[in-house]
Chain A
């Protein structure tokens, strides 16, 4: 479904991602794990078109997407839930979701998508009139995911969904992501919370200082000695 071949990317003179190759099959959940500053967010941003790759090729469902602007890539079926949630704080929950269906194709399916999102996250329906900025961190993350689903994507990019959440909320959120997955969405997730995310996904890549260090099945990766010591904390 998504295929990156030798992608190099960064900001201005600075290169954050070196020669990265990665693939996500339809229906899969894949994680990219690694320490702070490994280039995980840059990877997400180059896929969703917020930055253009310096080299390499990106394909989605067989068609090239590298260097296309973000507002075009979302129309292809990739929704990016950015780091830090980035909801519109002064807009209501309902308006945030309406903005998620900005594209004409998404707007036509608005009612259907909304029912789906409210079924997944009932709290968003309860709070639909509230300003999004007044939600708790966990609710804001649900809103960010819900807003992304409104565009009718096939692939969802989740950047650090557990960031800044209380441990209990992290568990609940991972449960919800699991449910999103069961709805048939393909997921590529970037996380620092390695232990939890490896329970959620099928496969994972380990990214370190901008390069893929290791890849494999999630359970196999979780058993690797140095992964356990370095990231899982067991």
Chain B
């Protein structure tokens, strides 16, 4: 999905450039008016995206009374529970991103090897869209129904084999990794499939005609070409897991384990404690981490699109 705009840029930009530049004469007079037409859009983004971000950023640097203070930011770096939440979230995001990227790439490869108009491909793409974007709470329930107490596997082992399995791992970090990987794999399929599709037949042929086998193709041609896309997808998966809240909340509803849960806890307790701005500092911390990762992603993406031209 991330690749598609880049892939499409090349052919159509030449088509749009012509007519657009022919209107250059009138643009000089209507220039300002042309930009004014974007006001509703910019205003909307300003009100519902930029303003909230500013409220978070400015709030993080203020006391409740509106005085500037470094205390909220300092609290983020010195309070043990906050540090733990950040560390746990990052661990979870890294592990689930790596697992999701590997298995997702393998699945994408297996699909590309099949019929491009086949049923399998369409089924997997549609299912990936659902599981990657739609899941949240429901995926947590899916795993509770699979491994939770009284679940299918639990009941089967108990009634048919007389074995009481310990299913408490599901409610721990291990469980979070297993469930998160479940929605990372489909996201990887969506993001990585276009890059695999972009591997050209000529490259296989060239490699084969020079006597290269399958391994040598991936080692010398496919691997290096796909490396930037793979790395970019990995970063996207990281931010996806790092930002997720619903699944964790549905799986472990008690306690504030991950940073997203920690922020929610801060929000819900702010009336009592009156330190709403610590939550904003944590939110700012998340913005910084995600933005940094997305910047690297954008940089890598530019390199990745080089071969797609």
**A and B bound?**
no
Which residue numbers of B lie inside 8 Å of A, CB to CB?
none
Which residue numbers of A lie inside 8 Å of B, CB to CB?
none
